[in-house]
Structure 1
Amino acid sequence: MTGWHAPDDLVTRYADGSLAETDAWSLDKHLERCGRCAARVSHAVRAGAAGPSLAAVRAGVLAAAPAPARRTAPTPGAPRALGGRLTRILWAAGPAVRGTWAGSVVLVALGAVALAYGGGWAGARPLLLALAPVVPVAGVALSYGRHSDPLHEIAASAPGGGLRLLLTRTAAVLAVSAPSLTLAGLLLPSPGPRLPAGPATAGWLLPGLALTLASLVLSGYLGCRTATAVVGGGWLLAVSAPLLPSGGTGLTAGLTEQLSLYFTGAPSQGGWAAATVLCALLLAARRTAYDRLETM
């Protein structure tokens, strides 16, 4: 805290909507941390032209709300507001984690294990490793935007609704997909003697992180869904294009060799690490571009 507070004329122009957009977003960030200025803005809004309308809306909401239930004294030592805290965490995590996407990730992992053991298919492991880097990218596409989140307009217009919200939901997507897919890879059998050894089970984690951050960087230029489609489609094309002439067992062997080229060895992993750092720096440099992400 710097001790700075918004001048009265700045508060007045913010309340009546005449403040420049860049200054309004800067003041939004300050109001998120300063209760004194937030109370002054609230008072200015109630005293302005919108005050009577807001008072009428508030009165109507209170009149329509059911009477509060009688509260009993909490049990000594019992945790308080556990349900409310969990609700806030799930809301911040985003639609992908709350909805069917998390279940789809689990089904993909279990499906790979079932194909390997129940169907005896040797290509289950390389196929899982090929799809794993784009699973978080798809989760990001389903976590942010008006098409997937019914509360998107409210969330995106909040002071922390830009890059902070996008990174929060991206972290939630990674927290679900990374353990599930890595565990499934550990459960899959090693390739037979006729197939190449293939990359390590966790070899996809750094490429997956780099592709996810790359999709966030492109989101600042193209929008979230378009960026994730470009990154995800580009990765699938890079993996599958060299395999088009192959078929049958040769397809599985070719996919394994292709993944080994992308995932195995210090040069490839070092390249993914450099790409991850570069994308993180670009995100930090263009963080203000995400305040109006859905208007692009």
Structure 2
Amino acid sequence: MHPDVAVLARYADGDPGLDEASVWSVESHLETCADCRARLAEHTPDDVHALLDLVTAGIDRGVTDGPAPVPRRRLSRRRFAVSLAPWLTMTGAVLGCAVLLHVLYPDLPSLVLLLAPVAPLPGVAVSWTRRTDPAWELVAGTPRAGLGLLLRRTAVVLAVVIPLLAVAGARTGAPLAVLLTPCLAFTAASIALGALIGVRRAATGLAAVWAAAVVAPSLATAQVPALLQPGGTAAWAAVAVLAAGFTVARADRFRRLTSGD
């Protein structure tokens, strides 16, 4: 659906009263609609047209007289702004150690079961934060940034962590549903809480609280907590759904540069 002509004119004039959602909608639409780009040009003042022509000419000269393009392989490395590999490798190593400890000390509560809820959180913590993304301002300032980009990055984390949990669960005999529902609930909760305090702080805080309130007491008492019994699957699923609903309701918070701190 094309934006209203009045909204397009206000966007062209830089009207400060135009809300963020409308600006994002116009910019996203302009990416794929040549007709609206032409209509936008009609509202652009002559002095701006002259400035754009000057900038275009300068860019053309720079492209013509500048250095040759960098080989594609080097460009692809530079575009990989967020490096999840070390965090995902660490997660895999921790789960592997948990399986080994379960084999060596079968009387202890399964560390795989205890760590499953927070297994994706290290990767989620670095998926949407300026501290680990050198192109953060550039990425966060684009029209398609925000919750959609965060969810795509989180999906990459889960695509690696969930198979690792499935393998670890098969080795230790833990039911897959008992492993995955807390995992998804904590992931959704970290994103939901991230709308308020930042994804990195939310993921780190949830992991610390879980370790102190559940993991340490379970190892001390050698008992699996009731939260991780098969009967708790429905409760974890409900938490995941509620957190997802809250995240969608506060999706606009992820369009701000401060939302990933």
Deviation sequence 1:6-56 (CA, Å, 0-9, x none): 456335224xx8674524233223224423324655795961546534642
Distance of 1:123 and 1:13 partners within structure 2:
70
Q: Would you say 1:228 and 2:192 are equivalent positions? A: no
The letter of the residue matching 1:102 is L
Identity in percent: 32
TM-score of the two chains, using structure 1 as the length reference:
0.71
Q: Does 1:154 find its partner at 2:132?
A: no
Moved more, 124-133 or 143-152: 124-133
Counterpart in the other structure of 1:288? 252
User: Are 1:186 and 2:170 matched, yes or no?
Assistant: yes
Q: Which residue of 1 aligns with 2:12?
A: 12
The alpha carbon displacement at 1:272 in A equals: 0.9
- SS, match of residue 247 in structure 2: helix
CA contact (8 A) 1:135 1:177 kept: yes
Give the match's secondary structure for 2:256.
helix
Change (3 A) 1:42 1:180: farther
Q: Which amino acid aligns with 2:82?
A: P
CA contact (8 A) 1:178 1:205 kept: yes
CA 1:136 to 1:42, structure 2 compared with 1: closer, same or farther past 3 Å?
Answer: farther
Match status 1:211 vs 2:211: no
- The answer to whether the 8 A contact 1:112-1:125 is kept is no
- 1:265 is the counterpart of 2:240: no
Structure 1: unaligned runs, 5 residues or longer? 70-82, 191-198
SS at match of 2:132: coil
Match for 1:128 among 112, 123, 146? 112
Native 8 Å contact 1:116 1:122 kept in 2: yes
What residue number does 2:149 align with?
165
Greater RCO (Cα-Cα under 8 Å, separation 6 or more)? 2
Instruction: Give the aligned residue type for 2:58.
Output: A
1:100 paired with 2:86, answer: yes
Residues 101-156 of structure 1: CA deviation (Å, up to 9, x unaligned): 22222222333344455xx2336871122112112122111111111112222221
1:152-182, CA deviations, whole angstroms, 9 ceiling, x for partnerless residues? 2222111110010011111111111011122
Q: Partners of 1:47 and 1:33 in 2: how far apart? A: 21
The root-mean-square deviation of aligned C-alpha atoms, in Å, is 3.4
CA–CA distance in structure 2, aligned partners of residues 106 and 177 of structure 1: 8
CA–CA separation in structure 1 for the residues paired with 2:144 and 2:17: 19
Cα pair distance change 1:115/1:237, threshold 3 Å = closer
Is residue 182–residue 236 contact of structure 2 (8 Å, CA) maintained in 1?
A: yes
Q: Is contact 1:162–1:293 with CA below 8 Å preserved after alignment?
A: no
**Structure 1 residues 50 and 154: alpha-carbon distance in aligned structure 2, compared to 1, 3 A threshold:** same
Deviation string for 1:51-97 (max 9, x for gaps)?
5346424532443231799xxxxxxxxxxxxx99xx69x95xx7254
Taking a change above 3 Å as real, the CA distance of residues 289 and 124 of structure 1, as seen in their structure-2 partners, is: same
- Segments of 4+ moved more than 6 angstroms: none
Q: Return the letter of the residue paired with 1:218.
A: L
Q: Which moved more, 1:123-132 or 1:137-146?
A: 123-132
| TM superposition score normalised by structure 2 | 0.79
User: 1:200-243 CA deviation, whole Å, 9 max, x = no partner?
Assistant: 35412111111111111111111111111222222222213534
